[in-house]
Amino acid sequence: MISFVLDVEDLADTRFAISPIHETVLSLRVLREPGLYAMHLPWRRSVLGRLDAFGADLLISLVGPDRAIPDFLTPRPAKFAATFEEELAAVRRTPPELVRRDVLAVYPRVRPPEVLRGVEADDDAPVLALGDAICDQLQLYWEVAIRPTWPQLRLVLEADMTYRARQLAVGGARLLFADMHPNLRWHDGVLHIDKMIGRHRVVVSGRGLLLVPSVFSHKPAPPVSPAEPPLLAYPCRGVATLWAPAPTADPTALTSLLGAPRARLLGLLDEPLPTVEIARRLTVTPSAVSQHLRVLHATGLLTRTRDGRHVLYRRSPLGDQLADPSAPG
């Protein structure tokens, strides 16, 4: 069990942060042990082929036998939403003695794999070389595996923080931690985290607790070392819907929304046309078409431009999305 002892000032300074490097590093567990992360199997299948281009053996070896990950790879975020590049720069600055300590800490009972043996050297040079190689691979891995879906991931993370902030406002710390995870327990100013590799008690002492929601965490994940600043990555809500296929567009929905005449009109205007030509094609009067064109233009679904005596109408990008949801935005 790992425990965080928080006084009143620590609770007042408890806050949230989004960390792209946390998500990047924690996702390595899904690659190593897919059986524990059934909800992420669609994501795993989608990235495995792309990873063959450079290989991820070095990164996957950083997940220890107990699924612990070296602390230096997940530094405490310096601000609410740092970029991946900012956080990776912080990882690159890790002193060799901390790289050595953290890698060995996730292999407490056995020697690290051959690819990580450089950390066992007394000389700092092999450790520095290993740290650089890890960071180089992390950059490639981020670009291939995480960055393409980062906007969706971030929306899920932000939605969770909104929910947690409401829990804190309504019921204080007790309600905030009540449904984060069964392994978390709040009692008498102490946050207990069960079923951890470590067995230590951290007195937060005015540093505040940083909460980092995570898509790729399957349980609460504090730092392995008690010397690290107080931080708790925890499984966020909404993950089950993240990789679900997009719903198929209902072809009748546009008619229900706009009405049949305007839906037909919007479907017709994938090319610029004047009012009289639109009326001819739809076999209605120009005055009837003009009324619908004014409404569709006012709502941003059409653009218009003058060509001599005629005004040409065409679907706007918003109108394209409404008429054909499968079209790129």
Question: Which residue, of 217, 241, 265, is where some domain finishes?
Answer: 241
Task: Tell whether 139 and 284 lie within a shared domain.
Answer: no
**Average pLDDT over the chain, rounded to an integer:** 90
Structure confidence at residue 308 (pLDDT):
81
- Confidence label for 23 from pLDDT (cuts 50, 70 and 90): very high
Task: Tell whether 141 and 66 lie within a shared domain.
Answer: yes
Q: What is the percent of the chain where pLDDT is above 70?
A: 96
- Asked if residue 301 belongs to a domain, the reply is yes
pTM, two decimal places:
0.74
Mean pLDDT, rounded, for 69-96: 95
Question: Which residue, of 241, 273, 306, is where some domain finishes?
Answer: 241
Number of domains in the chain: 2
Structure confidence at residue 241 (pLDDT):
83
Task: Tell whether 168 and 290 lie within a shared domain.
Answer: no
Task: Tell whether 129 and 31 lie within a shared domain.
Answer: yes
pLDDT at 41 over 90: yes
Structure confidence at residue 263 (pLDDT):
92
Structure confidence at residue 251 (pLDDT):
65
pLDDT at 55 over 80: no
Quick: pLDDT tens for 152-187: 999 999 999 999 988 988 888 889 998 899 999 999
**CB 214 within 8 Å of CB 40:** no
Quick: pLDDT tens for 94-151: 999 999 999 999 999 999 999 999 999 889 999 999 999 999 999 999 999 999 999 9
Structure confidence at residue 324 (pLDDT):
76
Structure confidence at residue 247 (pLDDT):
58
Cα 49 off chain centre by = 21
- Confidence label for 63 from pLDDT (cuts 50, 70 and 90): very high
Task: Tell whether 95 and 40 lie within a shared domain.
Answer: yes
- Sequential DSSP letters for 274-303: EHHHHHHHHTS-HHHHHHHHHHHHHTTSEE
- Sequential DSSP letters for 38-50: GGGHHHHHHHHHH
Task: Tell whether 268 and 147 lie within a shared domain.
Answer: no
Q: Which domain holds residue 292?
A: 253-323
Task: Tell whether 205 and 274 lie within a shared domain.
Answer: no
Task: Tell whether 139 and 270 lie within a shared domain.
Answer: no
Task: Tell whether 66 and 137 lie within a shared domain.
Answer: yes
Task: Tell whether 18 and 105 lie within a shared domain.
Answer: yes
pLDDT at 246 over 80: no
Which two three-digit tokens encode residue 94?
């890790």
Task: Tell whether 24 and 153 lie within a shared domain.
Answer: yes
Which residue pairs from 155-161 have beta carbons closer than 8 angstroms and sit at least 24 positions apart in sequence?
Answer: 156/215, 156/236, 156/237, 156/238, 156/239, 156/242, 157/18, 157/213, 157/214, 157/215, 157/236, 158/18, 159/236, 159/237, 159/238, 160/213, 160/236, 160/237, 160/238, 161/16, 161/18, 161/213
Residue with tokens 């059934």: 38
- Asked if residue 215 belongs to a domain, the reply is yes
| Range of lowest pLDDT (179-183, 254-258, 289-293) | 254-258
The CATH code of the domain that includes 295 is: 1.10.10.10
Which two three-digit tokens encode residue 207?
């540093």
Structure confidence at residue 147 (pLDDT):
96
Amino acid at 77: P
- Confidence label for 255 from pLDDT (cuts 50, 70 and 90): confident
d(CA 19, CA 17): 6
- Confidence label for 248 from pLDDT (cuts 50, 70 and 90): low
Mean pLDDT, rounded, for 181-210: 90
- Asked if residue 246 belongs to a domain, the reply is no
Task: Tell whether 81 and 206 lie within a shared domain.
Answer: yes
